[in-house]
Amino acid sequence: MPIVNGMYYAEYQGNNSAQPPVVLIHGAGSDHLCWPVNLRRLNGFRVLAPDLPGHGRSAGVSRQSVREYAADLAAFLDALGIFSVVLVGHSMGGAIALETALQHPAQVTALALISTAAHTHIPAEFLNQLSSPASVKNAHHWLQERLISPESGAVLIRKSSAALESLRQEVLHNDWKAVASFDRCDRVKEIAQPARVICGKKDRIVLLAGSRHLAASLPNAHLQVIDNAGHLVLLEKPDEVASGVQSFLHSLSG
């Protein structure tokens, strides 16, 4: 079980070592297993999928800011001797990717940002409910209503609900607090690296307008909108997301 700086990670050794490694950064309350197999095993690329501190199999405690998670990611990459990387992030993971690109621009060669915005409005009432055992079920209900498009089917909705119930309250609260406090609307224009912004058309957390704003603000970005999908588009439409990421990566090498 590979662990670096207290962070567990899964690794896929692709057959093209000339390309920068791809690092998958999961979202709030999640871990590396959120990534479908066809994203964890991108043909022709070395892929690493870490668990952030306090998540999955990683040690430590969860953070309350995206900046802290970005510092953890940078230390993880330095410990592995990775000085050029493509970052692929979902939701909070996308925010971490943006922050890392701002803090370490020479290290990040490109970004794929899934269900991500430069700032996401998270209601204070939701965060308050997450902070209390007496009201956490109300917070879960709020999330469950917004994570998945109804078109995705009952099975995925049930799995998502069960996953929420199994999460530690502190981790979920800290992560969503980090999402709520993240705001780089004034600085994303500084990120000149190639970027692919991928979103579900029916996302009710990062609204389509937020994804469009991010893609328009980044100097070198392309927007991919996936129909009949919500915030968990990577699980709702894994083939379309993987195809978008794969074509983006190949465009970089081309």
| pLDDT at residue 160, rounded to an integer | 77
Quick one: average pLDDT of 241-248? 96
With a pLDDT cut of 90, the percent of the chain lying above it is 83
Residue 155 confidence (pLDDT): 74
Whole-number pLDDT of residue 19: 87
Question: Going from the N-terminus, what domains does the chain have, and what CATH number goes with each?
Answer: 3-120+182-253 (3.40.50.1820)
**Residue 1's pLDDT is what?**
62
**pLDDT (average), residues 32-43:** 91
The strand pairing partners of 110, in sequence order, are 86
159 pLDDT tier (thresholds 50, 70, 90): confident
- Tell me: the pLDDT tens digits for 56-105? 999 999 999 999 999 999 999 999 999 999 999 999 999 999 999 999 99
Write out pLDDT tens, residues 161-206: 777 777 788 999 999 999 999 999 999 999 999 999 999 999 999 9
Instruction: Judge whether residue 16 has pLDDT over 70.
Output: no
* pTM metric for this prediction: 0.96
pLDDT mean across residues, the chain: 93
What mean pLDDT comes out for the span 233-246?
95
CA distance 85 to 109: 6
Which runs of consecutive H residues, i.e. helices, occur in 23-151?
A: 37-40, 66-79, 92-103, 124-130, 136-147
Q: Is the pLDDT of residue 149 over 90?
A: no
- For residue 184 the two structure tokens come to 């780089």
pLDDT of residue 86: 97
Nearest by Cα to 188 from 72, 81, 102: 102
pLDDT of 129 = 95
Give the pairing of strands 7-12 and 221-226.
Answer: unpaired
Per-residue pLDDT at 254 exceeds 80: no
Q: Is 36 helix (H, G, I), strand (E, B) or coil?
A: coil
What residue type is assigned to position 41 of the chain?
R
- Over 90: is that where the pLDDT of 7 sits? yes
